[in-house]
Amino acid sequence: MILEGMNDHWNTSLQGATRQKLDAFAKLRGRSVRPGQFWDVVIITAADDRQRAAYELQVAEKLQRKELPLGLPYHVFADPPGPKIGNGGSTLYSLQQIQNKYGDKVRGFRVILIHAGGYSQRLPSASALGKIFTALPLGEPLYQMLELKLAMYIDFPSRMQPGVLVTCADDIELYSVKGGGAVAFDRAGFTALAHPSTLSTGTAHGVFVLEPAEGTEPGDLEYRSCRRFLHKPSVQEMHSSGAVCSRAAGGTGTGGQWAGRPEFVYTDSTYYMDPDTAGRLLGLLAEIGPLGCEIDAYGDFLQALGSGATSAYTKNTTNVTKEERNLVEVRGKIFDLLEGTPLNVILLNNSKFYHIGTTQEYLFHLTGDPNLRAELGLLSDAFSVCPADASKNPAVCIIHSVLHPACTVGLGSVIEYSRLGPNVTVGGNTVISSCWIEGDFNVPSDAFIHSLSLSVNRATLFVTIAFAVGDNLKQSVPSVSDIGQLQFYGRSLLECLGLWGLSVQDLQFSGDTSCLSLWTAKLFPLCCDLKSSFKLSLNMITSLQGRSSFTFPEDVKLFSLQEALQCKDLEEMLKFRKELHRDISEEKLKQS
């Protein structure tokens, strides 16, 4: 998602402010930070212990390679076993963990809490290693989302009172303030960042209903009080609640940005809570005991705040993945605890909010969006060896990969952590992730192909997941008789089975058999090496386009993406990346 209607001056100022933050972070990478210079504690949340171990290993490698600031603790906290508790539940458990570890000293800490749990079903290339470790075509050493998050908030710790800053792993906030102004988190209660957005954008985010301004002239940065917070409201609700703002086109503040589009709302991204508020939430967890329902760190916390807040939202379960029996009761307790707590809002009128949580967003922002490319300085060739035409084409993105000069990559495609040999042609709008492609292959357009290393019965094996970019891995049906409703690469899954010589009886699903999806369908063959794994899965999807016939090898074992993640071999995947790093470094040394 991007804000539209920027003028050239605004874009230039945003680019300059972003470059300053990246430069400031680059000076801290691999160096011990002084007190007050950076965060006292960095926390990353994980969905379970398996994901926690994967995150901890990657953070440790980053610290060893001196890709992060040193001299402070980086913690990964996993959600407890049991029902899904949401990022609100993760927030509460993280507060508990840090309190247990540091005691009362935590009240003097400046903490950043990054929600990175979940299995990224909308961007499966981030499922195994985590969306907080999604690679970006930026920086030397190469940035992942973790580094970018820390870089974009580089100014916050020195202007923040002790407390906790809560953010998510799959979005990017860019902003600029004229005259060197800075964001300060120094007020009691909650303080949230707010970005001017279209009303259609507001329907998928949190929207602030502001208290009336005190007559001050709007600028790049405004501090306001919030009367009420709306969670994914309708356009009608935004209008009726007073959330919709308007300024004359060409005026000050957001006027130039919103010329020709005078109506807008302020949407959420990141927020801060002071130590007293964090302590009260921690006390609530002690009162409730183990959570048995999904709590949202935005919808359930922020809707309780402001002078106009009511408890009506506690009974609204429209946006809940699965309604547990005690959800309304827990929400009621949160409302009672937080009612009357101030919600301060920092209006970043020269700002942009990008979400990179889906395959389509990932492709667009890395290959099709000139604004983000200019603002962040994104590259077409980021620490890679690739054909000259690809390295200079803004509509192609190659990250940490080795491509033979004779291979071809279509427009709008991203290649990351992969090897491509000669005679390989990749179609447009395609993602190739962690693959080894050797041979005469034509990869179709609009494909998502991702290889994983697995440890199965103590043997290292491989599976390659292949979908269409637009396939919905989260859509589910209740029984095998309904699988015709699932779409795989533009066809009914039932039709695909027929083309592959399989019957409905042959199809198996992992996990909950009352919730069947492409995520749990055992479709992908297990192989002894990366190259064979890619070849088999590619043949699966090309056969659906009538390019070739395909039948599964006899006695082959089929895995689902869900099942593959349960036995992923993280060390083997990182080993493949290290080998790529070695070869790229050697080639660049030859060229220097």
Query: What are 356-413's pLDDT values in tens digits?
Result: 999 999 999 999 999 999 999 999 999 999 998 888 899 999 999 999 999 999 999 9
pLDDT digits (tens, 9 = 90+) for 239-298: 999 999 986 533 333 444 544 457 999 999 999 999 999 999 999 999 988 999 999 999
State the pLDDT at residue 575: 96
pLDDT at 323: 63
**Averaging pLDDT over each range in 80-84, 106-110, 217-221, which range is the top one?**
106-110
Confidence of residue 511 (pLDDT cuts 50, 70, 90): confident
Rounded percentage of the chain residues whose pLDDT exceeds 70: 94
pLDDT at position 28, please?
97
**Cis-peptide, bond into residue 444, ω within 30° of zero:** no
Q: Which pLDDT does position 129 carry in this prediction?
A: 94
Look at residue 428 and tell me whether its pLDDT is greater than 50.
yes
Q: What is the pLDDT of residue 215?
A: 63
The average pLDDT across 163-178 equals 95
Q: Any idea of the CA torsion for 581, 583, 588, 590, to the nearest 10 degrees?
A: 150
Q: What is the pLDDT of residue 213?
A: 82
> What is the enclosing helix (H) or strand (E) of 396?
strand 396-399
The three-class DSSP label of residue 305 is coil
- With tokens 């071809």, the residue in question is 408
- Burial-class residue 32 by CB neighbours within 10 Å (0-12, 13-18, 19+): exposed
pLDDT at 1 over 50: no
Q: Euclidean distance between the first and final Cα of the chain, in Å?
A: 39
CB-based contacts of 120, cutoff 8 Å, min separation 6: 126, 127, 130, 131, 170, 357
Could you tell me the pTM of the whole model? Answer: 0.94
Q: For residue 233, say if its preceding peptide bond is cis, omega within 30 degrees of 0.
A: no
Average pLDDT, the chain: 92
pLDDT classification of 11: cutoffs 50, 70, 90: low
Res 49: pLDDT: 94
Range in 73-82, 227-236, 257-266, 409-418 the model is least confident about: 257-266
Give the Cα separation of 185 and 450 in Å (integer).
41
Report which of residues 215 and 268 the model is more confident about. Answer: 268
In the sheet that holds 424-426, the strands lie side by side as: 408-409, 424-426, 441-443
Work out the pLDDT band at 319, boundaries 50, 70, 90.
low
What average pLDDT score do residues 553-561 get?
93
Distance CA 417, CA 433 (A): 6
pLDDT of the residue at 259: 43
pLDDT at 217: 65
pLDDT of residue 325: 75
Residue the block writes with tokens 């001196």: 66
Would you say residue 5 has pLDDT above 60? no
The pLDDT of residue 250 is 33
CB contact at 8 A, 82 and 292: yes
Read off the pLDDT of each residue in 26-37 and give the average, rounded to a whole number: 95
Rg (CA), the chain: 24
SS3 for 64? helix
Cα separation of 412 and 364, whole Å?
7
d(CA 178, CA 176): 7
